[in-house]
Amino acid sequence: MMKIVTIVGARPQFVKAAVVSRALKKVGIEEILTHTGQHFDKNMSDVFFGEMQIPKPKYNLEISNLSHGAMTGRMLEAIEAIMIREKPDLLLVYGDTNSTLAGALAASKLNIPVAHVEAGLRSYNNKMPEEINRILTDRMSSILFCPTETAVKNLKKEGYDNYDCRIVNCGDVMQDAAMFYAGISDQQSTIIERMQLNKKPFVLATIHRQENTDDILKLRNIFDALNEINSTANIVLPLHPRTRKIIAEAGIKTSFETMDPVGYLDMIQLLKNCNIVLTDSGGLQKEAFFFKKHCITLREETEWIELVEHGYNVLAGNDRSKILDNYQTMLTKTSDFSQNLYGNGHSSETIAELLAELLAEI
C-alpha cells in the first residue's frame, strides 16, 4: 500500500489537511498524520481535529513556545526519527510554518520526495519567517501544488523549470474546505446567537503576524484603529494567545472585549455574518473572499495579489489613518464575488489522484 507522512502544526494546515486527508483515503493512500504541536492551545488545535473529523494524528510531537531556531531544530530531529521508522514513499507538507520547513528538511536529507501544498506563494518580504519557510520548502520539493496561476508564474520566474520537480496548478484546497464545511457550520455552530451578533453589524478581526506583534508601535496603531471602528460597529476579535500576552504586557487597552480563538465552524459563521474583515492572516484573506466579504489586510504586502488586483482586498499596513480610511471605503463598496480565482472546489481530489498516480510508479 502507498504510504505518506503528512506534517501539520497550525490552524490553516488543519483546515487543508481535513479535505486532503479525506481525498487520500479515497484513492487508497495510507496517511501517517503527524502534529508537531506548533499550535498547542486547545482552541487553536484540538477543536479542529474534533469538529472537522480529521483523523487523530499518529504522532503528536508537542513542540511549541520556542524560538524559531530551537523549534525548527527539535521538529527536524523528531520528524526524521518518524520518517526512519515509518519509511514512507513521500512526505506531504502545507503552507509556510516552521513545521513545514522542518518536515521538508527531514525528508530531503533522507532522500524522500516532498510534496508541497500551497507552493509558489511570494510576499517578497524576507523579514517574514513565513517567506523564508516557503521559499526553502519549495526548493526541496519534488511536487509543487500551486493554488493559483500567479504562484506557478512565481516558480517559473525563479527558474523551477530547470529543476527536477513537477509544478501543478491544482487550485486552492482552502476553497474545498470552505465549500464542504459551510453547510455543516450552518447546522452545528451557534456562535452568532450565543454572542448575540445578529443584533447589530460587526467587524471580524484577527492579529497574529510577528511583523505586527513584535513591534509595539505598529500594534498600538492597529488597536487604536480598531478602537475607533468599534465606536460605530462591534469589533469581534478572536485573539491568538501570543498576541493576548503581548498586548497585556504592553498595556494596550481595547474598547471591546476580545475572545479566545474559535474553531473553523464558528469562524465560518463569523465570516458569513460580518460586514467586513480586518486581518494580517494569509488564510483569512481568502476565506473572506470565499464568503463574499471585503477585506482590509494589516500588512504592507500579500501573497494573494489577485484579491488586491480585483478589488476584494486592500493593503492598509499598520497606519491608523490608512486603516480607518480604507475601512470607510470598503464598507460601502460592492463587488462581483463570482470570479473563479482559486479553482473549482476539487483541488484536494486533484492532489490525491496525482499523488496516487506518481506513487504507483515508484
* DSSP-derived secondary structure for 108-145: HHTT--EEEETTT-----TTSHHHHHHHHHHHH-SEEE
- The candidate with the shortest Cα–Cα distance to 289, out of 259, 330, 252, is 330
Mean pLDDT of the chain, nearest integer:
93
Catalytic residue IDs: 208
CA atoms within 13 A on the CB side of 204: 25
Q: What's the pLDDT score for residue 330? A: 96
279-309 pLDDT, tens digit per residue, is 999 899 999 999 999 999 999 999 999 999 9
60-69 residue pLDDT tens? 999 988 898 9
- Whether residue 99 contacts residue 38, with contact meaning beta carbons closer than 8 Å, is answered with yes
> Higher-confidence residue: 44 or 174?
174
Interior CA angle at 286 toward 120 and 19, to 5°?
A: 80
Q: How far apart are CA 322 and CA 261, in angstroms?
A: 27
Task: Please give the pLDDT value at position 111.
Answer: 97
When pLDDT is averaged across residues 122-146 and rounded to a whole number, the result is 95
User: What is the reported pLDDT for 12?
Assistant: 85
| 162 phi and psi angles, rounded to 5 deg | -90, -5
Q: CATH top-level class for 180-331? A: alpha beta
What angle, rounded to 10 degrees, do the helices at 264-273 and 173-188 form? 90
Confidence bin at 91 (pLDDT 50/70/90): very high
Cα distance between residue 40 and residue 30, in whole Å: 26
Residue 44 has pLDDT above 80, yes or no: no
Instruction: Tell me if 3-172+343-361 shares its fold with 180-331.
Output: yes
Say if strands 90-94 and 114-117 run parallel, antiparallel, or are unpaired: parallel
Q: Read off the C-alpha cell for 45.
A: 488545535
Q: What is the CATH number of domain 3-172+343-361?
A: 3.40.50.2000
Rounded CA gap, 90 and 54, in Å? 20
- CA-wise closest residue to 65 among 30, 32, 36: 36
- Give dist(CA 207, CA 191) in Å, integer: 20
pLDDT at 42: 52
Counting runs of H as helices and runs of E as strands, what totals does the chain give? 16, 12
Please report, rounded to a whole number, the percentage of residues in the chain having pLDDT higher than 90: 83
CA distance 283 to 276: 15
Q: What is the pLDDT of residue 20?
A: 96
> Domain coordinates of the chain in residue numbers?
3-172+343-361, 180-331
